[in-house]
């Protein structure tokens, strides 16, 4: 399904479209990036689910100051390179905003970590985190980004940064750009006919001889199956 079809579905489907479309004619409205995020999950939603998504989307967790810190950090974790965009370009901060409200158990830890950044920035550089230079930011990030070599006093900071890294990666690879970078080529209808021969050869594995005649042959997928009384396939 392409993006246009997705959008059509959004406009005509059963999802509550009020937030996104208030006051606009769908056909004329330019679709902002990550528009789908604005509407809650699509497909098979119960009334309770729709309501909850809308409630979460209407609330705000991060302050502007926190969003700025996060924007700096997620682009350090997943920066732009010659093959793929930076985390902020694919909406990772918006994703985190939603996840904080969806899984509120992480809120205190996340906020605590963001507050600690200012403490640490003040201790080291006499500034708030958002005022730091790039190299100063990296100095602080390096204190908590390497679990095996971090100093014991940064143990809590390491745990926070692990969560931040995990969330950033979740938000990054669950996008069209993330799929492209990963080289994911599934989720397209096909007839599975096994691992390509050259891949099996490279990995030194092979199909068991006795099963080869029994495996599904893609060309048989259109024919209704027939068995004899013993369960042998005869057509």
Partner 1 sequence: MSFQIKNSGEAYDVIIVGSGAGGGMASKILSEAGLSVAVVEAGGDFDPAKEEDRTQLRPPWESPRRGAGTRIRPFGDFDAAIGGWDIDGEPYTRKNGTEFDWFRSRMVGGRTNHWGRISLRFGPNDFKRASIDGLGHDWPIGYDDLKPYYDKVDKLIGVFGTKEGIYNEPDGFFLPPPKPRLHELYMKKGADKVGIPMIPSRLSMLTRPISKERGVCFFCSQCNRACQVHADFSAGTCLVHPAMKKGKVDLYTHSMVRKVTTDESGKATGVSFVSKEDMKEYKLKSRVVVLGASACESARIMMNSKSKSHPDGIGNSSGMVGRYLHDSTGTDRMAIVPSMMDRQRYNEDGVGGLHMYTPWWGDNKKLDFARGYHIEYWGGMGQPAYGTGGSMDSMRKYIKDEFGEPSPNGGYGVGLKKDIRKIYGSTMGMSGRGESVPMYDNYCEIDPNTVDKYGIPVLRFNYNWTDQEVKQAKHMHDTFEEILTEAGGILLGSKPGPETKYGLLAPGRIIHEVGTTRMGNDAATSVLNSNCQAHDCDNLFVVDAGPFVSQADKNPTWTILALAWRTSDYIVGELKKKNI
Residue closer to partner 1 (CB basis): 27 or 148 = 148
- Give 126 or 210: the residue with its C-beta nearer to partner 1: 210
Q: How far is the CB of 136 from partner 1 (least distance, A)?
A: 16
Nearest to 61 by CA among 118, 104, 19: 104
Q: Smallest distance, Å, CB 135 to partner 1?
A: 14
Q: How far is the CB of 124 from partner 1 (least distance, A)?
A: 19
Q: How far is the CB of 63 from partner 1 (least distance, A)?
A: 20
| Contact indicator for 96, 106 with CB cutoff of 8 Å | no
DSSP state of 231: S
Nearer to partner 1, 129 or 161 (CB): 161
Q: Encode burial over 204-235: b for 16+ CB neighbours within 10 A, e otherwise.
A: eeeeeeeeeeeeeeeeeeeeeeeeeeeeeeee
**Residue at token pair 């397209």:** 188
Closer residue to partner 1 (CB): 44 or 126: 44
């Amino acid at each position: 399904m392409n993006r246009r079809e997705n959008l059509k579905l959004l406009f005509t489907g059963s999802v509550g479209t009020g937030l996104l479309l208030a006051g606009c004619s769908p056909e004329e409205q330019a679709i902002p990036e990550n528009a789908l995020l604005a509407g809650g999950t699509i497909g098979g939603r119960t009334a309770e689910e729709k309501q909850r998504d809308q409630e979460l989307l209407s609330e705000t967790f991060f302050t502007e100051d926190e969003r700025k810190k996060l924007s700096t950090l997620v682009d350090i974790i997943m920066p732009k390179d010659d093959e793929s965009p930076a985390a902020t370009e694919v909406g990772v901060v918006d994703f985190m905003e939603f996840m904080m409200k969806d899984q509120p158990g992480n809120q205190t830890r996340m906020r605590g970590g963001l507050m600690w950044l200012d403490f640490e920035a003040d201790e080291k550089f006499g500034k708030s985190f958002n005022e730091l230079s790039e190299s100063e930011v990296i100095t602080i990030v390096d204190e908590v980004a390497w679990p095996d070599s971090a100093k014991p006093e940064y143990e809590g900071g390491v745990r926070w940064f692990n969560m931040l890294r995990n969330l950033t990666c979740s938000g990054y690879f669950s996008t069209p750009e993330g799929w492209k970078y990963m080289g994911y080529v599934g989720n397209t209808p096909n007839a599975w006919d096994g691992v390509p021969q050259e891949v099996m050869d490279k990995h030194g594995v092979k199909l068991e001889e006795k099963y080869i005649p029994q495996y599904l042959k893609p060309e048989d997928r259109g024919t209704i199956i027939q068995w004899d009384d013993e369960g042998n396939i005869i057509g």
